[in-house]
Structure 1
Amino acid sequence: MSDDHPSPPLRPIPEPGPNEPAATPATGRGAGSPDLRPRTETADVLPFGKPGRAFGGSPFTFGFTAALGVLAAWLLVQALTATASMLVLITVSLFLAVGLDPAVRWLQRRGLPRWGAITAVFAAVIVFFAGFGVAVIPALSQQTGQFVEQLPTYIGQLQSHPQVRDLDQRFGLLERLQSYLISGDLGRQVFGGLLGAAGIVVSAVFSALTVLILTLYFLAALRTITSTGYRLIPKSRRARVQLLGDEILHRIGSYVAGNLLISLIAGVTTFVFLSIAGVPYALALAIIVAVTDLIPLIGAGIGAAVAIVVALFVSVPVAIACLVFFIVYQQIENYLIAPKVMKSSVDVPAAATIVAALIGGALLGIVGALLAIPVAAAVQLIVSEVVMPRQERH
């Protein structure tokens, strides 16, 4: 050290008292005194990348634990994949139960007990599906029978057509068709197709029955389900979460009720027009239009296309009239009926509606498109009531 900065004098080590042990050379303090020096030991600090004491300090234990985690994640993904169809049915049933709950409450306010209101609403749903089957299935059966009866006439018209006759002379199309019909390949393919169609019908019937039964149970236990869900929230936040949850359920129910009302208006209007235009099976086509109108974005177009195709069998002018009718009605529905019906239910911007419907359709098909708009409304409510105020406070 230089003379300009003299070193401070060394402080002598205090003498131990009569009851204190002698100072040790290493610490300068008594053997029983606490060591106040900064700790420099790194026995508990492990280098980066080495397993800590949570894994027993062994690389084998760390690897085994990581492998168990990966295996558990893989099994969970496999379980979700295997039960995906059933989870979709459960989600649809819960969605329908929430959507039918406003009708149940309306009947309760009119004096019916809850079980009576649930029975009345559920009976109305069953009557609708039964009416749909009675109106559509005979029409499809009759159209199929007429097509089979007219099949020889269609083949004769093809044979008399000049271009078909020319192709038959060049390539022997009719001879190949005849040999194919006589051989057993057609029978096997038709039989396999019938089995596949029967399997699809059975699966659809099973899914419909499952949805109806689950909807009934969810509708009966909806209050218990919601109250139990709210009790899982910490008590300090339970009131706020309950307010948001009740509002979300109210919006979903209002959306379902409004969508059903719009579809009913579309079905009734279609039935009146098709009856006046003389299109056959007006009731069945009206029900198809009403059901497909529930699907966002593309549903109305699907129902209109089916009705226009059937109208083509009547005449081309009738089909053109149907096309004009559906174009005009869609404009009235989109800009007049839907805004008035939906003004008290969901208030989602048009761009968000389209994006939500596209994403939901890509994930879960038609079911995802149906659930997308109320989910978007719920997300919008959470953002406006929770996220935005929290951001403003910070």
Structure 2
Amino acid sequence: MTDRTLPRPLVMLLVAAAAVIALAGIKAIDAVVGPVVLALVLTIAVSPIRAWLTRKGAPAWVAVAVPFTVVMVFLIGMVATLTAAVVELAVLVPSYTDEFGRLVTQAQLWAAEHGISPQVNKALQSLNPAQILEFAQGLVSGVMGVVTSLFLMVVLLLAMSLDAPIISRVMAAAAAERPAMVGALTTFASKTRRYILVSTIFGLICAALDVVALYFLEVPLPLLWGLLALITNYIPNIGFVVGLVPPALLALLTGGFRGLVLVVVAYILINVVVQSFIQPKFLGDAVGLTTTATFLSLIIWAWVLGALGALLAIPLTLLVRAVLIDSDPAAKWTGALVSGEIPRK
């Protein structure tokens, strides 16, 4: 009998092509996929509240309304705080035009003394107060975009909250017939909750310490930069750098190079120590992804879904792993390459 099995290189090429097509399709409808995934992650995050209320015998509507209210209070509070702070930033930036010009002049004089004027002047040409103002205005527009899409988020969260008890019963009933898939999805939900919980706790710690440090260093809008530090804590690998750049630049405008150095040192002492040395000990194997897989997931999902993809890179990758790898017992070695854990025989 003729062996009609496709050659493995051809299978790999077909899989890669299918992945590219799927990602391109998701990117084409990112305005829908992003809010859907965010609503799913938030619904999973508050599912222990719903389970606790159910065990206590609370009415069905209470078990739905309480988790939904918790999520909405969190979202509305964060959007409101971010909106107020960003609007204040847009008003504040133009007042530093003179200081910016003085720093540019100092940089040009320093470059002339060291014989590197052409290179420095070329770099400085791309920087001007108008661009900084445009950046601030872009932040305002981005926040307003989040506010306008909040209605979609409310509808999705409400729908998922209403369907959550039904999904739980379906999963329990399907466990006997599809144990691998149900187990994979259950593990995904558990790891996602732990990842969000640990990241949120340590993000709040870093944000609070950052706000205190920026307040004593007299950097304007410390609350905004603390909130930014909390949000960027969910971005793997490069989140710390993203959260550092804006307050460091503002410290340069208000306190010169000394202020810049102090902010950078403070952020390194707070964020690097907490996120690189303390947080991983509590996070443990919640993620189950190698460093390479985590970084690649950040690049891919940020390209597909933009900033929201960067924030949801870990949950999205965990979901893909659950559906495509963990649900297939034959793919245990593929899972080992992604997680770095050698499967048991």
**If the length of structure 2 is used for normalisation, what is the TM-score?**
0.65
- The one-letter amino acid of 2:182's match is Q
1:237-386 → structure 2 map (5 Å cutoff): 237-315=177-255, 316-343=257-284, 345-378=286-319, 382-383=325-326, 386=329
Following TM superposition, by how much is the alpha carbon of 1:311 offset from its aligned partner in structure 2, in angstroms?
A: 1.0
* 2:164 aligned with 1:225: no
CA-CA distance at 1:321 after TM superposition? 0.8
Match of 2:47 among 80, 101, 104: 101
Q: CA deviation at 1:261?
A: 1.8
Deviations 1:139-198 (A, max 9, x none): 224304635xx67x9899999xx99xxxxxxxxxxxxxxxxxxxxxxxxxxxxx9x9999
**What's the counterpart of residue 88 of structure 1?**
34
Structure 1: runs of 5 or more not aligned: 1-75, 164-192
Structure 2 runs not aligned, ≥5 long: 1-21, 110-134, 335-342
| d(CA) in 2 for partners of 1:103, 1:248 | 18
How far residue 377 of structure 1 moved from its aligned partner, in angstroms, is: 3.8
2:43–2:157 CA contact under 8 A, matched in 1: yes
The structure-2 alpha-carbon separation of the partners of 1:124 and 1:85, relative to structure 1 and needing over 3 Å to count, comes to: closer
The answer to whether the 8 A contact 1:102-1:254 is kept is no
- Seen in structure 2, the aligned counterparts of structure 1 residues 286 and 377 have a Cα distance that, compared at 3 Å, is same
Of the candidates 122, 125, 148, which is equivalent to residue 206 of structure 1? 148
1:125 alignment counterpart: 75
- Partner residue in 1 for 2:64: 115
Give the structure-1-normalised TM-score: 0.58
Query: CA contact under 8 A between 2:79 and 2:143: conserved in structure 1?
Result: no
Provide the residue aligned with 1:146 in structure 2.
Answer: 95
Structure 2 CA distance, aligned partners of 1:197 and 1:247? 36
How far is the alpha carbon of 1:380 from its aligned partner? 5.4
Q: 1:293 to 1:157 in 2, by over 3 A?
A: closer
Shift of 1:98: 1.6
Q: Which is higher, the Rg of structure 1 or of structure 2?
A: 1
In 2, the alpha carbon distance for the partners of 1:121 and 1:270 equals 25
| Distance change in 2, residues 1:287/1:368 (3 Å) | closer
Tell me the distance in 2 between the aligned counterparts of 1:211 and 1:385. Answer: 32
How much has 1:110 moved relative to structure 2? Answer: 8.0
Distance 2:273 2:313 in 1: 23
**Root mean square deviation, CA, Å:** 4.3
Letter in structure 2 aligned against 1:357: L
Checking the alignment, whether the CA contact within 8 Å between 1:262 and 1:341 is kept in structure 2 is no
- Quote the sequence identity (%): 21
Q: Matched residues in 1 for 2:268 and 2:103: separation?
A: 35
Q: CA deviation at 1:291?
A: 1.6
CA contact (8 A) 1:255 1:346 kept: yes
Quick one: structure 1 residues 156 and 309, their matched pair in 2 at CA, closer, same or farther if it must change by over 3 Å?
closer
Change (3 A) 1:79 1:274: closer
Secondary structure at 1:339's aligned position in 2?
helix
Query: Could you say which structure has the higher helix fraction?
Result: 2
Q: Distance in 2 between matches of 1:77 and 1:369?
A: 15
Question: Does the 8 A contact of 1:267 with 1:286 survive in 2?
Answer: yes
Quote how far apart the aligned CAs of 1:320 are.
0.6
In the alignment, residue 143 of structure 1 is paired with which amino acid? L
| Higher RCO by CA contacts (8 Å cutoff, separation 6 or greater) | 2
Q: Which of 134, 158, 179 lines up with 1:216 in the alignment? A: 158
Q: Evaluate the alpha carbon distance shift between residue 390 and residue 217 of structure 1 in structure 2; reply closer, same or farther with a 3 A threshold.
A: same
Cα deviation digits, residues 315-337 of structure 1 (max 9, x gap): 12122111112223333123323
SS of residue in 1 equivalent to 2:148? helix
Shift in alpha-carbon separation, 1:110–1:345, aligned structure 2, 3 A: farther
Which runs of structure 2 are paired with 1:161-176 in the superposition (5 Å)? none
CA distance in 2, matches of 1:236, 1:359: 35
More deviation, 315-324/99-108: 99-108
